[in-house]
A and B are shown apart, each in its own frame.
Chain A
Amino acid sequence: MEPDDRSDEPENTTDPHRGYGDRGYGDRGYDAEDLLAALGDAAEDRAGETEPPACRLVEISLTVNGDEILQDVKLDIPAHACTVIMGPSGSGKSTLLKTAAGLLVPDTGYVEILGTNPNHATDRELERLRARNGFVFQDDALWQNLSLLQNLTLPVRYHRHDLASDSVTERINGLVGELGAPRRLELRPANVSAGERKIISFVRAIVGDPELLFLDEPTTSVDGEHADLMIRKLRELKERNVTLVAVTHNARIASQLADYVVVLKAGRILRFGSLHEISRSNEPEVGRILTDVLSETATYDGDILELLDPETNTYLT
């Protein structure tokens, strides 16, 4: 599998190798009653029918300053679903997310985002690809020299010349209102709180209607009320078939949104499968990691893995 061959492929070509059919991750739905069925053979069939993965990581390894952050990562992130990456601190979650988004160039292997290898794309192809992606950084990563409003309008203005500035403003105001963001958008990022900045950076990621949204701890430093608004928005996006890839310690995001879970340990993928599968996994290591990760934010003192199981999770509904 030469990377070059891959990059030349048109985005819609169906790939016989796509999907981890044997792991049976056809489950895209959220409804609890479908879960058992989803585990069945039918799900595998559906997996065979689905579109190519939104993001494909092929034999990725990445070394930074001599530390191997990612080792031999193979991952197909399914389209129109929510994949949550979990793992203990320092396991390389953010690095994996950034590599998947094409922000970091791996030492070996390659990435295909929506069928395009960003390292072999022309500037224009890359620009077009980026316009279809959104990324919420762990810290807000807002442009400090621009006002909040300019932070929000710049990406839209840059990619969507067709939109009139009125409709852009209207759209921004709608989103800002929906997410409870600060109303004084003429302020610079430094003049608002960290939580508000985070909300604005979330709005910035979704304002351009992305097909693929990467989220790196979207709810950190956001209070519960606003986090709920954010989760509600993410569910709405999911319903609109937006592919979500999230790194989170937040049990609520994981349980309410996740279709698939990637469990990462020391730069390697320990387990990848549907939420149901993972949450019922009887591998002790996976269980321990998930317990550790989720206990950081959860206050629920029952069996921590139940949190992830929408079937038993009454706390969330």
Chain B
Amino acid sequence: MRGAIEQIGSATIVRVRKLLYALGFMVDVFKQTFRFTTSRRVGTHVLTMQILFTGVEALSVVATISLSLGAVIVIQGLSLLPQFGQGQLIFDILIIVITRELGPLLTAVIVTARSGTAISTELGNMVISHEIEAYTVTGINPIRHIVVPRFIGVTLSTLLLNLYFNLFGLLGSFVVTQFVNPIPLREYLSGLLASLSLTDVVSSVVKSIVFGAIIALVATFHGLQVERATTEIPVAAIRSVSHGIILLIIANAIITLIYYI
């Protein structure tokens, strides 16, 4: 009995310590991000490459998914809604699904799967090959030089990808509408714009920024958690995906809740 209590106690202490450590890491990243943006000392090359890898190269995946998602919503919606005489609701559904919910979340999941794992693996490898130590000993803050460009790059890319997701999703639905029930672009746009509120846009943007930050923080954190064995690297990558997705869904629920309160 006493053993169990002790176990629970020590497990809790370990958990809390880990959590505090992670929070400390987050604070440090934020601090260094601020310094990164205020001083121009560190080259922006890493940042550019990160946006290229995370943003530009994921564009085709994002476009494909969002185009087909938009198409599916229109097909399903147009087969069901006019039966109740609520055809106009298709725009609201498009906006809720694409702009408010799935756009940010799906792009974040895509980014986690592509770049979260890549970053964890890369940083894990850097730890193993002492590259991180090499930065430290050279006096280059690894958080600022390694983590911050990835943090900014991933956050920015997630935001931009979400914008493209919305664009393609809403465009895709228009293209499909042309086959099912042709309406002029002008009418489609005005219907869409009438249903789209600034809150939707802000909510979507806030979500994708938060999601991008979560992905980057989780991925870099787990990457740097690697200590000495190469076998730790895949573990770090898996953790960064699973923790990342759990945190994304929780964050999504919280933000949605905040907007509906």
Give me the interface of A with B, judged by CB distance under 8 Å.
98, 101-103, 123, 126-131, 133-135, 137, 139, 141-145, 154-155, 158-159, 201, 204, 208, 214
Contact = CB atoms under 8 A, between A and B. Distances in A.
Contact of B129 (A98, A130, A139, A155): A139
The range of chain B's interface size is 10 to 19
Contacts of A131: 139
B159 to A, nearest CB: 24
28 contacts: A103-B137, A126-B139, A130-B139, A133-B139, A135-B134, A135-B138, A137-B130, A137-B133, A141-B129, A141-B130, A141-B133, A141-B134, A142-B134, A143-B126, A143-B131, A143-B134, A144-B125, A144-B129, A145-B46, A154-B140, A155-B139, A155-B140, A158-B41, A158-B138, A158-B139, A158-B140, A208-B138, A214-B137
A134 B139 CA distance: 10
A126 B135 CA distance: 13
Contacts of B46: 145
B84 to A, nearest CB: 57
A12 B256 CA distance: 59
A74 to B, nearest CB: 23
A127 B141 contact: yes
Contact of B139 (A98, A129, A214): A129
A113 B60 CA distance: 52
A143 B145 CA distance: 12
Given A103-B136, A126-B139, A155-B139, 7 more contacts: A103-B133, A103-B137, A123-B141, A129-B139, A154-B140, A159-B139, A204-B138
Contacts of B140: 130, 154-155, 158
A135 B141 CA distance: 15
Contacts of B135: 143
Contacts of B42: 158
Nearest to A151: B134
B52 to A, nearest CB: 13
Contacts of B136: 103, 130
Contacts of A135: 133-134, 137-138
B51 to A, nearest CB: 15
A159 B137 CA distance: 12
Nearest to B136: A103
B134 A137 contact: yes
